[in-house]
Structure formats: C-alpha cells, structure tokens
Chains A and B, each alone.
Chain A
Amino acid sequence: MFLSYFTEQPMSAYPADEGLKEGFTSVMFSNKYYDPVEGSRLFNERIEEYKLADQVGFDGIMVNEHHNAPFCMQARITVMSSILAAITENAKIVQLGNPLPTYDSPLMFAEEIAMIDMISKGRLISGIVRGAGQESVCLNANPAYNRERFNEAHDLLVKTMTDDGPFSWEGEHFQYRVVNPWARVLQKPHPRIWVPGVFSAETIRWAAQHRYPYISLNTPLHLTGELWEIYDQAARAVGYEPGPENRGYLLRVHVQKDGDKARENAREFMWMQGEFTGIGHPYWVSPSGYGSSARRLDYAKMANAEVRGSRAAPFEQQLAAREIVAGTPEEVIAELRVVLETCRPSILMLWGNDGDVNHDDSLRCIELMGTEVLPALRDIGDELELHDPFELDSPISLALTPPDELNPIESAADERPEDTSDSRSLKMFR
C-alpha cells in the first residue's frame, strides 16, 4: 500500500461569524479577515507536521491548492512542494493536484516541477486537476474552455517532460515559439501523474484512458463501487486490466489515544463542509460552460435557488458511513479495514487534521498514525493484495505501455451518457 498524509492546511484563524453572516466563504469573502501573523504561525506548524509525517513512515505527503478561501491556505501547490523537497527525506511529494487549466503558462509549470523533482531526488508525483470552477473564477481562466485547456496543458506537459527541446507548440490555448526548459525531470520518462476527483464520470474515464490512477476524494464509500466500474470499463476499452494499483482513496481520519478526544477533534472536519467555511455559490463552483451540458437544467435550478448554508450530512451520520473515521488506533484500524475491503485502493490518503485542531494534537495524530496505524494498514494491504504502482512497477501511463501488452475490448466501452453524476459531484463540492 501507498500511504500518504494530507491536510487542507486551513486558514482556521479567521472570524467564523463573519463568514456565517455573509453566507459564503469563498471567492468574494473579503481577505480583510486574513491575519498574516496567524497565517505565518499556521504555515510553520504545518511544516513541522510534514517533517514528522516524513519521519514516522508515511510514503507520501499530499498537497493541494485552492484560491480565495479560508479552507485551504495553499495558493500555489508548487511552493509547498518545493519546501517539502528540501525538508523531507523519504516521503514522496504528492501533488493532488495542479489545476492546469487555470495556469496561463503550462511551460512555466513544467519548469517548476522539474526543479522540484530534482531537488527532491525524484520524489515527485505530479497530479493534475481541472480545478473546481471557483478556481477559474479566482484566477480568471475561462471556465468554458476548462476541459480544453486541461487536455492541451497535459499534452504539452508530457511532451515537455519526455521530448528533447527545442520544439515549438502551436495549440488552441497555448503557443510557444520555443519549448526548451533548462530544467528536466529526474524520474524517467517522467514522474507519475495521478488524477484526483470527487465523482465526475468524465474525469474518471479520462484518467482510466490515460492509465493514470484515479484518487477518489472522500467520495461516499457506497458510491466507490460505481466509480470503479466506470474506471474499469474505460480501462478495458483501451486495453489493460485495472486493479488496486489504479485506485486511490482520500479519507478523513483522526487518531488520538483517547477515542472521545479523537472524535471531538474530528468534528473539525465539518469545518470545510459548510459548518464554518467552504460555502460557495453554485455559479462559482461550476460556472456556465464548466460542467456537462447534459446536466444543464439541474445545474441552472441549483444555481438560481439561492440555498444558503451547509448541505453536508451531520457529523454522526458521516462517522456511521465511514466518511469520517476517528478514534483510538485500534478503533481506526478496524474501521479502515472495512474501507479497504470495500473500496480496494492501493493508494490511501489519510486526511489527518483540519479546522481548528491544534498543533500538538496534530503532531500526536501523525505520530500515532506512524507508529500504530500505518504498520497495521500495510499488513491489511498485503492480506487484501492491495499492491501500489511502485510495488508493481506498473506502467506510468497508457502512452508508455508497450503496445503488445494492450488488448482493447471495444465492447467494454461505457454506453452511459457523459457525466451522469455531475450534479452529485456538485452537491458534494458544496
């Protein structure tokens, strides 16, 4: 198993009542409430926690990026990745993910990740995402071309990593007379690319068609079977048999020696689900043209309904559904066994601390994960044959799979309409 640590890095030190008064806490929620003194403290606490996660045996540290919102302090994923490259020794740096369509220069991004891969001595996993619609709004990247920009930036990125320069690029959205960065990725042919997402059938298929692992971001456990079915059909259609090495799962998990304390801290996971923050209007989360046209009416109804407040399920309900797992190491291991048996991922991201969980408790959670939870999970993973891409040395993409190993089954292609689950994904984002 590949076991990774994650935190959203919340900017928790802001007046929550102001957000509740406004009714939203993203995009337009004023940064006059941002206290950089607290920001400095929080960043440095997170860095200490990452160092500990590296020392206690996590295989990876997952980082992400969001804009104009207190639920995530990281405005630039490559900045934190660069810091991790220098201060950690063992853990892979798992970017989940780089919002490619929002970048005006995929070439500059390719330069950055090449530097990170070299400085980290080949520990980079560079995930890519379309970015939620609000990232497009905040960075003013046209949401109607989000998918096109994602595809083109991906193609340019892979070519930049694998082909020698100089070459020119004349695309629809990006043009370069010279692509010839004097920064090359250390891992050959290129670092692994993973694709995170909530539940967008279009993105799941895209990941499968490229043979990139799909990292399901806390999708309700009972839906993961349907999710992998979409992935598996798309994988077989392009010619390979998918397995646990293609599957990742991110889950909220908090551990303390005292189970009640763990559950009390775990209430902080409700923070970004709308109890204190993380609320955005649908027309920010999914601007017109960003989502699937098949779901236009559902979307337009939701966008114009002006529903305020949280749509998240109550904490106890999420605990019962194992969307949040909290307790003593023994309790957590038992719960995670069920998760692993149900979802069968080889890549597990433990989203350990969120909201206002303090630094000391965060460190204790990471320590307990390292000393007690991770070894148990590795045993369970072996027992369930959940072997990750590194253990299997599986191909890093379809393009880099030897053609004679591919056996496309055309009848395996999924006949269902595109994006049957977009509206569900949208609701979960809220």
Chain B
Amino acid sequence: MQTVTTAVAGLGMREFTGGSGDPLVMLHHSFGNPGWMPIHEALADHYTVHALDLPGYGGIDGSERPDWARHPRDLALLVGQWLRAKELGPVEMVGCGFGGWVAAELATMSPELLKRLVLVGAAGLLPENGRIYDQFLVSHSNYVEAAFSSTEAFEAIYPRNGDESEEHPLGDDTLVVWDMNREMTTRVGWKPYMYNRRLRPLLGGVTVPALVVWGDNDAVVPMECAHAYVEALPDARLEIIPDCGHAVDLEAPESLAAIITGGKS
C-alpha cells in the first residue's frame, strides 16, 4: 500500500492504493476512511484498489478542501476529474454511505467513467417512510457507533485507548479527523440532509451494471433506500448482509469483498 496525492482543479487529492489488477475506487462514509482497512486488503487480491479521500476529507493530511463546493455533486465532479487526470476509467466504483451518494451522482453524469457501480448503504435518496439518521443532532462518536450493529463491532475499528482519565477514550487524532470530516459534510450536505431530489430521476440513465449492498441492521440509511436504488437503476441487483450495520465495509469486509469479487480469481 502506498499513499498517493494527485492534483485536481488545484487541489491535492489523497488516496491509499495497493494491489494489482483492474482499478477499483472506494469512496468512504461521511465520517471518513480510517485508513488502509481489511476491505481494501481483501479487494487488493483482485484489484488495484484506490481508497480515495473525498475532497475536504481525511484530516489535515487528507484531500484538500474545495472552499467553493456546496453539494455532494460538486464532489462527484471532482472525483470525475480525478479519474480523468489519472486516466483510470472505466473503473469499478464502490461507494459507502455518503460516498455511495457521491458515486451515484457521478454515475448519472459520467457513466463512461464507470465499469460497475457498487452502492453500500448509500445515502442520496429521500426515504418515503423512514428517516436517514441525522449526525448533526448527535455527537461524532454516537453517530459513528450507530453505523455499526454493535458496540463491539464499532470498537473493533475505533478502539478505546483505555485511559480513563481522559474525558473521552477515543484518540485525539480520531476526534480531530472526525470533526474535520463533519465540517466538510456540513459544508456540502447540511440541507436537505443526505438526499437529492434531482438524483432519482437521473438514475435511469446509468448504463452500467449496479450492485446494491445493505446491512440488514442498517440504522443510518433505511433499507427502503436500497430498494429504491434497485428500482431506479436499469441494471441493478440487491445483496443483503445479515447481522451487519450500516458500515458494511468496516464491519463485514470479507462478506463485502466476496460479493464484489463474485468468484473473480
């Protein structure tokens, strides 16, 4: 694995990259990518994995913030420019949560850059019955924990440092990066929260095959959004991961990798 920064529209965009094979790009949740994770390692056996920090995400060492960006679609445009700058496309793109929304936006505007769209617990569509869990009403740690099916699963990724003298046992670096990521999410996604009414009508124009993956215990984006994506995308199928929360990529990396690779050797 190595860290690579590419200049796009005057901004440094950082990725963790490793493995070999066809290119696969992963876009992270709104709380950010915690690093080169087991899902990346598992996929790197089959692909050259590019785990990109979305513009404005990843902390002080992450991708630079486009001050002008006001909507996740602006981030999708930058991801498209990044793909062209690196001459990577067409790629398989895996978007998780908020990153799934960005991936879906990119698919509607530049399907030629994609070979396949994989949406994992993707935001972007307004649920008709349920509600997308609003991070802005809770603390950073409570929100991220809600993305997992259990406290144990959360702590497996974000271990507590055990120092009980601290007000909060999570590390300073984690808290700072979470807050920078939340600020960027605020800048582009304050309202309407985590959906775009102009996305669904455009999904019909996505010409590439799509795979929609959802944890059956997703407490962040309601399962009805999975069905809505499958209905709106012309060529999509749904895979449900049992006993798993919203952050399938972090909680069930082997299962997700197996579904994505689907017998690929």
Contacts and interface: CB of A to CB of B under 8 A. Distances in A.
Contact of B183 (A27, A288, A306): A288
B179 interface: yes
A288 B139 contact: no
A143 B190 contact: yes
Contact of A283 (B138, B166, B175, B176): B138
Nearest to B173: A297
Contacts of A303: 139-140, 179
Given A289-B183, A296-B180, A299-B179, A304 B191 contact: no
Given A296-B176, A299-B179, A304 B170 contact: yes
B191 A142 contact: yes
B187 A301 contact: no
B139 A306 contact: yes
Given A143-B186, A143-B190, A281-B139, A304 B180 contact: no
B183 A297 contact: no
Contacts of A144: 183, 186-187, 190
Given A305-B168, A307-B167, A300 B140 contact: yes
Nearest to A283: B139
Contacts of A302: 167
Chain B facing A: main interface SS: helix
A300 B176 contact: yes
A287 to B, nearest CB: 6
Given A305-B167, A307-B167, A287 B136 contact: yes
Contact of B176 (A281, A297, A305, A307): A297
A301 B186 contact: no
A289 to B, nearest CB: 4
A142 B186 contact: yes
A266 interface: no
A27 B134 CA distance: 14
Interface string B110-145: 000000000000000000000000001111110000
Contact of A288 (B167, B172, B182, B191): B182
Interface string B158-202: 000000001110101001101110110011001100000000000
B180 to A, nearest CB: 7
B47 to A, nearest CB: 33
Contacts of A145: 187
B59 to A, nearest CB: 10
A301 B140 contact: no
B158 to A, nearest CB: 11
10 nearest A-B residue pairs (beta carbon) = A300-B175, A289-B183, A305-B167, A288-B182, A142-B190, A144-B186, A288-B183, A300-B179, A304-B168, A289-B186
Interface of B: 136-141, 166-168, 170, 172, 175-176, 178-180, 182-183, 186-187, 190-191
Interface of A: 27-28, 137, 140, 142-145, 281, 283-284, 287-289, 296-297, 299-307
20 contacts: A140-B190, A140-B191, A142-B187, A142-B190, A144-B183, A144-B187, A288-B179, A288-B186, A289-B182, A289-B183, A289-B187, A296-B179, A300-B176, A300-B179, A303-B140, A304-B140, A304-B141, A304-B168, A305-B168, A307-B167
